[in-house]
Amino acid sequence: MDALAAARASRARLTEDLTAYVELETPSDDPEALTRGLAWARAYVTTHLGEPDGVDVTAGAPYGDTAVLRYAASNDGTGTIGVLCHYDTVWPLGTLHEWPVSIDGDRFTGPGAFDMKAGLVQFVHAVRIAREHGMRVPALTIVLNGDEEVGSPASRPVIEDAVRGLDAVLVFEASADGAVKTARKGVGLFSVTTTGREAHAGLDPDRGISAIDEIARAVLQLHGAADRAAGTSVNVGILSGGSRMNVTAGHAEAQIDVRVESESERERIDAVLGGLRAEHPDATLTVSGGWNRPIMPRSDSTAALFTEASNAADELGFSLTEISVGGASDGNFAAALGIPVLDGLGAVGDGAHARTEWVSIDGMVERTALAAALLHRLGQR
């Protein structure tokens, strides 16, 4: 039985497992729910793949803990592969009551199914299938983290330590219209804060110094720094300030999301942020934050990894495409260490972070077979 036939035979199990996983809500900001989620994910991996040869769990408070599970190679496989699967979602506790799991033909919907619970289910069944059918499987280092959706503040060093020195890293985040991701932009998260002086806006307008006036100038400079042709976006997504309509604003803040695809652009944006100044001599302007995720370029080694996956797909009877995206993932951390990374190996579907989120069950079957075949190729290098 080949990998695709085995995956087709597992269709019902894939659907049942994804249902159970999605019905266990794991919002990034609920520690108790995340504790339950990690316990489920660890038990799920162990049930299908056996007890790991090594386990490390690192506390992630106030978010979810990070578990690293290590498995020796199977069926005389060679090489070392890292696998990244975050278990947190953007959906708050209770979403499931309003939006329960639903299956309509090939379409599976539910909070977190696409991003990225289907990915773990597909990966686990891929390893099971590969092992059961004598396919070579390399040594696996599986990382389960519960803070990816908030930028991986606690899990980043754990991920970097876990994957350092491995041959490649596979990320089971959702695909982009079926394409795997071979490049991602770097992400910067910044805040600009201005202070002025409060005063009665009607009785004493000349005494006040408007922090909103200062932040407005900064916002225009920041949005003007975007360069779509160079792949750079700058978005002031949250703007706040002032206390009342009849009070000159003494405080204001802008929260900014920046995406870049080159180091030169990252340096340019750093210079723009560093050059922001308050216009009024008695006002202040400060910048805080930093680069949340490094750039994930399409390196030669990542291109070679994609070729392996594409050839595996061809042998299974379907084609595989690649794409560069503006969104970031934990794969960016691995790429920054010089490791080849293939991202987007998870669900085929659409609607990440939206109530239109859905997963193709046929896509789950196909991608499970692809992952099994890719692991076999990587396990016989």
| Catalytically active residues, by annotation | 88, 148
> 10 Å Cβ neighbour count for 94?
11
CA angle in degrees (0–180, nearest 5) for 308-312-317: 150
**Secondary structure of the chain: what % helix, strand, coil (to 5)?**
40, 25, 35
Q: Where are the beta strands (DSSP E) in 110-220?
A: 139-145, 168-171, 180-184, 186-195
DSSP letters for 67-127: EEEEE--BTT--SEEEEEEE--BSPPTTHHHHS--EEETTEEE-TTIIIIIHHHHHHHHHH
Measured torsion, CA atoms of residues 112, 118, 124, 125, in degrees rounded to the nearest 10: 150
Alpha carbons within 13 angstroms on the beta-carbon side of residue 72 total 5
Say how far apart CA 227 and CA 301 lie, in whole Å: 28
Say how far apart CA 162 and CA 52 lie, in whole Å: 15
SS3 (DSSP) at 64: coil
Say how far apart CA 162 and CA 314 lie, in whole Å: 31
Contact (CB, 8 A) for 38 and 63: no
Environment class of 351 (CB within 10 Å of its CB; exposed 0-12, middle 13-18, buried 19+): middle
Which CA distances in Å does 241 have to 100, 212, 250?
Answer: 38, 6, 8
> 10 Å Cβ neighbour count for 277?
12
